């Protein structure tokens, strides 16, 4: 490992609490370098693969901006993305730009403006098959992951970089300490997870924002399918590449993502949770508990598998970056996080509360742990009279699958399409903190059946409007600036505010399954009408307080038409209530409840969202 850190101005440090106000937060590394004169260059790193079949090893473009005049080597903040030319990054969809000689000018997002003057290099990597990189996208597979991992290797002197996409001369990173922090939202954060799961030396920290942890769970859910596939995403991000033919690789994606919800080799190759034990880097994770794109099971199961220093922010938003819902505190936290893990500054950022959770729009609380330290997995059972409690019931209840209906209809007017079970008005607050598991014993009337379930807070509240166009935020016209600007790359961004909404109920967790996968996620089995099958499936990870006077409800139905595809033969499904129960991680448990220690997050079962993964 290379040593030697850039000499920075002497400053004061103290412990950072995630909920602390920006004005009260301690200062970090100072902006002592001139951003306008920063060195901007591109290095093409050989990843040792020929994804586009042109007979040459693929090289990926790493666009670099680093301090000019640094007397010592500097650490690196890296964002590896497929979106730098096709779709853009951030709330303002920024793209990379270049001058007439091909030198990078515009670096999307604020990381370069803020951190380069403070003695960091920022490296933005085009994933293979995108923008100026050779190769083809493989949507979370080995080529995607190696696009960034090999750049980490190059920064540590272990692989070769070149001055051109083909030919050229070898280039070394003699300016780099080798310490790398990866950051990114959505697909970008997903690649950070994937690279961390390789255990690559030199990667000191990752900051995954609304990121995938297993690509199966992006496209499928415990046997059910969301109706879209990775080949479509590959074609989108390859649309503005340098003209390479990626049809063969896209065919591999099409064939590997089978039409049913079986978990096969393609998904196993893209399942980072199974390799979470390899992670050496610290993790600063953020996710919206109402993210219906990269669903919250992703953060829960990833968090559960990590055995490193880690912190988490959970907002009420959908698929939104913390820069756009808690900007000042987020920049403060990133500043101290990178100072500590990339420069070795003893500023205490790793101490204090592990979690920060948004309870109402712009109202945050710190929590010692996630899931909550005193949460216990509580077995609640549906009763024949529509109750949800700890007593074992008897009898059966049925619903008729109607794929034309979705979750909101289930809550407000389920009719025969879904079954609702409620605790009734609570006498004290109850916190749901972690990942719920639902076990059903179900008898289908046809040879195919889907199962869906919701946990619902029945009661009025003011929440972020996560279903709106901004997914919980409103973007204004005024701007504020974060760092230094230069010609073609300014540091100023539109200010976003909370988009509140009054509601009468809040869906706090969802889950979906194909009953045909009751015995195995790897191979569905034919169902015999009239035969009972038992299956356990997961509801998405969350942290939510159901207030006193509200009710906690469990709704069980067939095809939730808001999300999953229906079965070939929708029919009637009958539940055996004595053998149907939910294990819900709760704080505030009735004394008679059956409990055991709650798992530390979304315990991974190799098993999600919309097609737009930005």
Residue 596's alpha-carbon distances to 378, 563, 585, 604, in angstroms, are 7, 32, 9, 18
**Average pLDDT of the residues in 577-593:** 82
**Model confidence pLDDT, tens digit, residues 255-280:** 999 999 999 999 999 999 999 999 99
Q: Is 552 exposed, middle or buried (0-12, 13-18, 19+ CB in 10 A)?
A: buried
Other CB atoms closer than 10 Å to residue 176's CB: what's the count? 22
pLDDT for residue 7 is more than 60: no
Judged by DSSP in three states, 394 sits in coil
**For residue 498, what pLDDT band results from cuts at 50, 70 and 90?**
very high
**Average pLDDT of the residues in 284-305:** 98
**Model confidence pLDDT, tens digit, residues 440-463:** 999 999 999 999 999 999 999 999
Q: Alpha-carbon distance 182 to 462, whole Å?
A: 35
Residue with more model confidence, 483 or 598 = 483
pLDDT of residue 612: 55
pLDDT of residue 589: 63
The percent of residues in the chain predicted with pLDDT above 90, rounded, is 90
Taking alpha carbons only, the member of 484, 383, 345 closest to residue 26 is 345
Residue with more model confidence, 434 or 590 = 434
Residue ranges with strand state E in 351-483: 355-360, 363-367, 376-382, 388-389, 396-400, 418-422, 430-434, 437-444, 450-464, 473-481
Taking alpha carbons only, the member of 44, 39, 32, 40 closest to residue 6 is 32
Give 3-state DSSP helix, strand, coil % of the chain, rounded to 5.
Answer: 20, 35, 50
**Model confidence pLDDT, tens digit, residues 412-432:** 999 999 999 999 999 999 999
The catalytic residue among 46, 126, 262, 291 is: 291
Taking alpha carbons only, the member of 381, 414, 355 closest to residue 600 is 355
pLDDT of residue 588: 87
pTM for the model stands at: 0.93
**For residue 24, what pLDDT band results from cuts at 50, 70 and 90?**
very low
The catalytic residue among 186, 433, 581, 583 is: 186
**For residue 14, what pLDDT band results from cuts at 50, 70 and 90?**
very low
Question: Mean of the per-residue pLDDT values for the chain?
Answer: 92
Q: Which two tokens stand for residue 6?
A: 């850039």
Q: Alpha-carbon distance 288 to 210, whole Å?
A: 7
pLDDT for residue 12 is more than 50: no
The percent of residues in the chain predicted with pLDDT above 70, rounded, is 91
pLDDT for residue 538 is more than 50: yes
**Model confidence pLDDT, tens digit, residues 39-93:** 999 999 999 999 999 999 999 999 999 999 998 999 999 999 999 999 999 999 9
**Average pLDDT of the residues in 568-586:** 97
**Model confidence pLDDT, tens digit, residues 160-183:** 999 999 999 999 999 999 999 999
Neighbouring residues of 82: CB distance < 8 A, sequence distance ≥ 6: 126, 127, 129, 130, 131, 137, 144, 187, 237
Catalytic residue list contains 319: yes
pLDDT for residue 1 is more than 90: no
DSSP string, 486-548: BTTB--EEEEEEE-EEEEEEEEEEEEEEEGGGSS-SSS--PPPTT--EEEEEE---EEEEE-T
pLDDT of residue 597: 47
**Average pLDDT of the residues in 329-354:** 97
**For residue 194, what pLDDT band results from cuts at 50, 70 and 90?**
very high
pLDDT for residue 605 is more than 50: no
The catalytic residue among 79, 222, 286, 319 is: 319
pLDDT for residue 96 is more than 90: yes
Q: What is the 3-state secondary structure (H, E, C) of 307-358?
A: CCCEEEEEECCCCCCHHHCCHHHHHHHHHHHHHHHHHCCCCCCCCCCCEEEE
Return the ∠ at Cα 533 (arms to 528 and 536), rounded to 5°. Answer: 140
Which residues are paired to 396 by β-bridges?
A: 576
pLDDT for residue 590 is more than 60: no
pLDDT of residue 613: 64
**For residue 242, what pLDDT band results from cuts at 50, 70 and 90?**
confident
pLDDT of residue 298: 98
pLDDT of residue 34: 97
């Amino acid at each position: 490992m290379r040593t030697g850190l850039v000499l920075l101005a002497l400053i004061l440090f103290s412990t950072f609490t995630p909920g602390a106000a920006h004005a009260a937060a301690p200062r970090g590394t100072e902006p002592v370098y001139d951003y306008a004169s920063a060195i901007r260059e591109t290095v093409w790193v050989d990843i040792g693969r020929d994804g586009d079949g042109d007979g040459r090893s693929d090289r990926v473009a790493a666009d670099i901006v680093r301090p000019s005049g640094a007397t010592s080597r500097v650490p690196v903040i890296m964002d590896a993305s497929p979106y730098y030319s096709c779709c853009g990054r951030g709330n303002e969809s920024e793209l990379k730009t270049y001058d007439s000689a091909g030198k990078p000018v515009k670096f999307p997002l604020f990381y370069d403006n803020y951190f380069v003057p403070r003695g960091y290099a920022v490296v933005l990597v085009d994933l293979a098959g995108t923008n100026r990189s050779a190769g083809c996208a493989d949507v979370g597979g080995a080529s995607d992951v190696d696009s960034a991992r090999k750049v980490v290797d190059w920064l540590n002197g272990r692989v070769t970089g070149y001055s051109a996409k083909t030919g050229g001369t070898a280039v070394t990173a003699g300016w780099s300490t080798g310490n790398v922090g990866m950051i990114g939202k959505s697909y970008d954060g997903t690649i950070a997870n994937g690279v961390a799961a390789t255990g690559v030396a030199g990667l000191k920290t990752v900051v995954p924002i609304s990121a995938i942890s297993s690509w199966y769970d992006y496209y499928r859910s415990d046997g059910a399918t969301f109706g879209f596939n990775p080949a479509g995403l590959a074609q989108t991000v390859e649309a503005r590449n340098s003209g390479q033919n990626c049809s063969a690789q896209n065919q591999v994606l099409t064939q590997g993502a089978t039409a049913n919800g079986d978990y096969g080799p393609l998904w196993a190759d893209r399942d980072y949770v199974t390799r979470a034990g390899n992670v050496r880097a610290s993790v600063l994770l953020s996710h919206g508990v109402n993210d219906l794109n990269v669903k919250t099971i992703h953060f829960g199961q990833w968090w559960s598998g990590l055995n490193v220093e880690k912190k988490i922010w959970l907002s009420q938003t959908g698929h939104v970056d913390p820069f756009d819902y808690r900007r000042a505190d987020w920049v403060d936290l990133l500043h101290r996080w990178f100072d500590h893990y990339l420069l070795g500054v003893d500023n205490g950022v790793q101490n204090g509360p592990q979690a920060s959770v948004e309870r109402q729009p712009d109202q945050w609380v710190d929590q010692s742990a996630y899931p909550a330290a005193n949460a216990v997995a509580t077995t609640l059972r549906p009763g024949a009279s529509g109750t949800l409690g700890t007593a074992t019931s008897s009898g059966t209840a049925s619903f008729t699958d109607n794929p034309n209906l979705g979750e909101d209809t289930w809550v407000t007017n389920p009719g025969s399409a879904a079954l609702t079970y409620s605790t009734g008005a609570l006498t004290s607050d109850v916190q749901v903190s972690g990942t719920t598991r639902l076990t059903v014993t179900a008898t289908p009337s046809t040879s195919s059946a889907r199962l869906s379930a919701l946990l619902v807070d029945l009661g009025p509240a003011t929440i972020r409007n996560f279903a709106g166009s901004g997914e919980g935020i409103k973007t204004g016209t005024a701007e504020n600036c974060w760092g230094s600007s230069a010609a073609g790359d300014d540091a100023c961004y539109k200010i976003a505010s909370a988009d509140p909404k009054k509601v009468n109920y809040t869906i706090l967790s969802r889950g979906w399954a194909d009953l045909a996968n009751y015995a195995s996620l790897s191979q569905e089995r034919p169902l015999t009408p009239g035969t009972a099958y038992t299956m356990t499936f997961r509801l998405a990870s969350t942290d939510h307080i159901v207030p006193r006077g509200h009710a906690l409800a469990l709704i069980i139905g067939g095809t939730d038409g808001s999300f999953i595809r229906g079965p070939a033969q929708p029919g009637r499904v009958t539940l055996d209530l004595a053998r149907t129960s939910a294990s819900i991680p709760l704080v505030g448990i009735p004394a008679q409840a059956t409990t055991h220690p709650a798992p530390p997050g979304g315990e991974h079962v190799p098993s999600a969202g919309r097609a737009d993964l930005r």
